[in-house]
Amino acid sequence: MEALVACYGDGSSDSDSDSESSPSNPSLAYSEGQALLPTRSTDVREPFSEVCVQPLPPPPIALLHPPNFLGPQDMQIHQTNKVRSFPHVDGNYALHVYIPINISSPSKKELAAFLKKISSQEPSLHVVDVDVPLNILCKNDEKLEQVALGREFHISLGRTVPLRVHQIDSVVSMLRNKLQTQQHYWIDFNNWEVFVNDDRTRTFLSVEVVHGGLVEIRKQIEAVNAIYRLHNLPEFYEDPRPHISLAWSLGNTSDSLKKVVGEEMKKSVTGKSLKKCVFTCKFRGIECKIGNKTYTICKVSDR
């Protein structure tokens, strides 16, 4: 807001440079949600001394503090010491095979309510992929649903591994050949769970597939593993647990996070019948991302 406030100065300065200058970094003004004010044209035929410069009126308070604005303090991305799972090598591209998952609007509300309860006791949680502190978003239900739950999630069918450029066509072709005949099925996310990555640098709050869709997903993982083996790529975990992750915290905080999640799950079913699943969605296909390019492996139409 400093840039906007500066534009609405008290007009007391008589310096030519002060009245003529424009923001030195326009992109900064835009990044803070500010609209740049037009500067006075330098092509003025009358002497500057004859130009009457009137001070600008004060801005509306609503402009300085818009009600639904996610400001820099909300969107601040903290230094989280992200570590690559494998070193960068020229000619290598990150390969990831996954099932895209989108959460329906009714399910978002229930998930958001649970996330708010967890975040109130675990303030270190951040939103996956956005890196916004979860407790900041929890102050506004609309922001929470839009930012934390409005994006596309994924169920991994294989590890994210480095792929050589000459292997790309072969991997994509084999994935399509193996997985093109997939049938429609429902995926039930039955359980809240906590996972820790391989190097113990991050802990994830996730929802896991325990029953509906588990058999089909594991068969898809087996097919991806077979293709990975042919290309000398590391296979998936021996006992895969399909899930999507909604939030993360730095380091291994699994003990405290599991305790909080367990307590909240008990509260949510006290006096109520045990709910069969957290939410459910249709299997719509499989995608493969290599570097910055996404390939459609198979697509299942709605019935």
Q: Above pLDDT 90, what percent of the chain? A: 58
Cα–Cα distance measured from residue 185 to residue 215, given in angstroms and rounded to the nearest whole number: 10
pLDDT at 99: 98
Find the mean pLDDT for residues 97-103.
Answer: 97
Question: Which of 65, 96, 154, 184 is an active site residue?
Answer: 154
Which tokens go with 284?
């719509």
Q: Band the pLDDT of 130: cuts 50, 70, 90.
A: confident
* Contact of 241 with 157, CB cutoff 8 Å: no
Query: pLDDT (tens digit, 9 = 90+) per residue, 230-278?
Result: 999 999 988 999 999 999 999 999 999 999 999 998 887 654 545 567 8
154 included as an active-site residue: yes
Q: Which residues contact 243 (CB under 8 A, 6 or more apart)?
A: 155, 189, 193, 195, 206, 207, 208, 209
pLDDT at 148: 93
pTM, full prediction: 0.71
Q: How many CB atoms lie within 10 A of CB 13?
A: 12
Nearest residue to 170 via CA among 230, 122, 219: 230
pLDDT at 38: 42
SS (H, E, C) 244-283: EEEEEEECCCHHHHHHHHHHHHHHHHCCCCCCCCCEEEEC
Residues in the chain: 303
78 included as an active-site residue: no
Helix (H, G, I), strand (E, B) or coil at 170: helix
